[in-house]
Every structure is written in C-alpha cells, then in structure tokens.
Amino acid sequence: MPSPLPFPRKLLVAIAILAAVVGCQPSGPRPVPSVPQIGGNLKCAQGDHGYEDLQAGWAFCYPGSWKYIERSQAIQSPSGLDLTFDITNVPCTSPPSGQPQCSPDAGLFAVMIISTYQREGSADLAHWVEVNLKPVPDLETISWGNAVEAVKLTDGRRIALTPHHVVIMDLHSGPLNLEKEMSSRLSTWKFNL
C-alpha cells in the first residue's frame, strides 16, 4: 500500500518554492538602470534622437532618420578632441502598413565635426578665439543651447563657451543640408553633462 506522505510532501515543496519566489519580488520602485541611455535626458522633438558624449561634456538632438559612423581623434594644440560624424539619411522606411516611405533627402550624406577644447584659462570666448584662431575672425553672437557664450563665424562654424570647454561645430554639408537640420536644433544642446 503506497504511503499518503508523497503527495503532501510535493505540495509542501511547491508551496515553499512559491513563497520564496513571491518573497523575492521587489516591493518598491524599480531600480534605475546603471547604464545611462544615450541622450536620455534630452527633450527631443518627436522623431528626433538624442546623442550624448559624457567625456566631451555635451549632448544634442538630431533627425531620427540619420545613421552615422563616429570617429574620434585627439588634438594636441590647443588640447582637445575631434568627433567626426559621417551622416547618411536613411533611404526609406517600411512601416507596418506596407508601402515604403522615402523622404526627399533619402540617401543623402554629409560630415559634421565637433571639436571640444580645454578653456585653458580663457575668461571669455573672445579671448579664447584671439589666442587660438589666427587670423581672428569676425564673430556674430548667437544662442546655442545652455552655452555660457556662443558665436557664429563667417565660414559657418559655431563656437560655444561652456564652464569647462570650448566647443566648435563645423558642418560640411554634402548633398545633405546639415546647416538646415542642425541650426534648427541648436536649442536642444546641453553642455557639461
């Protein structure tokens, strides 16, 4: 005659496992991911993506249809870092509805270089430009994100002074018009993250 104990023993084991699993469930708010989301603290327009570089100390929004290859290179004088973005506008997207959708600038490309330099004791942007750019160019004051000061040069480059760095954005529009796309997003930039 089989013993009646195996059934209750299995039931007791199942209850113990269930109690252990329920006891391990978090009861408070979920933990924040330890890896920051790239551009996660930016408020980009719908369809835009955020890019953030903690080492360089800046972030910005860009069109979500862009794909890029990023390269970096150290700069010796003045001390800094060049980040080069080879940008291509995605040719077409295939929505769930079926028909591919292509933007007018699908497949176009361009290059953007963002250089980040040490301030090297410069109290203001005019002083940094005077020391580091020869001949000293004409400066047009602009607004650029949360920069302390910002200017646009006659050649189209933009220079921002932040609490710790000087950032230069150099747009090399090819078939893709970077000037149009990036100038409309200057307000999204955050410096010194």
Q: For residue range 51-81, what is the model confidence (pLDDT) as tens digits?
A: 999 889 999 999 998 999 999 999 887 889 9
Say how far apart CA 12 and CA 138 lie, in whole Å.
Answer: 82
Q: Which residues of 13-43 are buried (b: 16+ CB within 10 A; e: fewer)?
A: eeeeeeeeeeeeeeeeeeeeeeeeeebeebe
Residue 34 in tokens:
């330890």
Q: For residue range 153-183, what is the model confidence (pLDDT) as tens digits?
A: 999 999 999 999 999 999 998 899 999 999 9
- Residue type present at position 118: Q
CATH code: domain 36-191 is 3.40.1000.10
Residue 40 in tokens:
């996660």
Length of the chain in residues, anyone?
A: 193
Q: What is the mean pLDDT of the chain?
A: 82
pLDDT reported for residue 18: 45
Rg (CA), the chain: 26
Residue 137 in tokens:
């160019």
Say how far apart CA 144 and CA 167 lie, in whole Å.
Answer: 11
Q: In the structure, what pLDDT confidence band is assigned to residue 9 with cuts at 50, 70 and 90?
A: low
179 contacts 173 by C-beta, under 8 angstroms: yes
Say how far apart CA 52 and CA 154 lie, in whole Å.
Answer: 27
Q: In the structure, what pLDDT confidence band is assigned to residue 145 with cuts at 50, 70 and 90?
A: very high
Q: Which residues of 171-188 are buried (b: 16+ CB within 10 A; e: fewer)?
A: bebeebebeebbbebbeb
Q: For residue range 106-133, what is the model confidence (pLDDT) as tens digits?
A: 889 999 999 999 988 899 999 999 999 9
Which of 181, 25, 53 has the alpha carbon at shortest distance from 114? 53
Say how far apart CA 24 and CA 150 lie, in whole Å.
Answer: 53
pLDDT reported for residue 183: 95
Q: In the structure, what pLDDT confidence band is assigned to residue 138 with cuts at 50, 70 and 90?
A: very high
